[in-house]
Amino acid sequence: MNLRRLVLISVPYLWLVALFLVPFLIVVKISLSTTAIAIPPYTPTLDLAQGWAGFKDFLSQLSFDNFTFLTQDDLYWKAYLSSLKIAALSTLFTLLVAYPIAYGMARVPDEWRPTLLMLIILPFWTSFLIRVYAWMGILSDEGLLNQFLMWLGVISSPLHIMNTSKAVYIGIVYTYLPFMVLPIYAALDKMDESLNEAAVDLGASRLSSFWLVTLPMSRNGVIAGCFLVFIPALGEYVIPQLLGGSQTLMIGKVLWDEFFSNRDWPVASAVAVVLLVILIVPIVLFQRNQQKQQEAES
């Protein structure tokens, strides 16, 4: 039994080591290298072929020049701050849209819930890239949204939404909405409706019972949904590239440019390492929240 348990536990750890730890160590190694006109375009400071002697040389020549460069160029820290701002606001907007949807799904009759769940998951049946391209056709100056609003007479001239931060927010909210709806719905679905009825019987209004009973009971779902949206949105590249244009500054775009346009792999790796360090904080908080939730349920 102990051997079987050890095998079961070792599988996810081996998966993490092979697909996360090893690639991360390679990125760290590149971030400590120097740029060179070569293939690949860097000169490694750590030569594993030399064994222990190569490792000692690496420690003696260890340099964090690439990380220092990130603090000296305004582009990088502005990109990090802009990414944090866009990810945080997008998470807030997604929560404001997702909570009423999840609340309505949890309150409809049982026979309607599978259909509504399918409608929430349905966008995943289509390629992510195709869905973002579709929003380009909707939000452009001659797009469907402007044509519809002008047909209604709401506006007299097209709204300029494409290639702005507004388009990025719309794209992120639409793309990651299911990641917010599903955890909140799962939390609300487990809630005992008699608690709200008891609050109303004790003199609380419907709004008061929502703030005092429903919202606290769905807190774990809200926290999980916020983390599931914030973490991938922070490093998003496709949405700001296609919908935000050149004026939208996010660290994912900077990372792409350093790797493929400038071919400065050491600096790009340093950018990726710092981004991962920033992401560690919400990831650890999310894991602790999940652990507390599991302990409370058990």
List, for residues 137-162, the tens digit of each pLDDT value.
999 988 899 999 999 888 888 888 99
Helix axes 113-121, 74-107, angle to 10 degrees: 160
What are the backbone angles phi and psi of residue 163, rounded to the nearest 5°? 60, 35
pLDDT cut 90: percent of the chain above it:
38
Task: List pLDDT tens digits, range 18-28.
Answer: 888 888 888 88
Q: What is the number of residues in the chain? A: 298
CA-based nearest residue to 174, from 94, 86, 87: 94
Residue type, 179: F
Residue 73's SS3 state is coil
Fold category of 72-297 in CATH: MetI-like fold (1.10.3720)
- Tell me the CB-side half-sphere exposure of residue 187, using CA atoms within 13 A: 23
pLDDT at residue number 216? 84
245 vs 248: CA distance, rounded Å:
6
Taking Cα atoms as reference points, which of 56, 77, 88, 125 lies closest to residue 233? 88
User: Is the confidence at residue 60, as pLDDT, over 80?
Assistant: no
pLDDT 10s digits, 193-251: 777 778 777 777 777 888 888 888 888 899 889 989 999 999 999 999 999 987 789 99
pLDDT higher than 60, residue 2 = yes
**pLDDT exceeds cutoff 70 at 298:** no
Cβ proximity of 272 and 83 under 8 Å: no
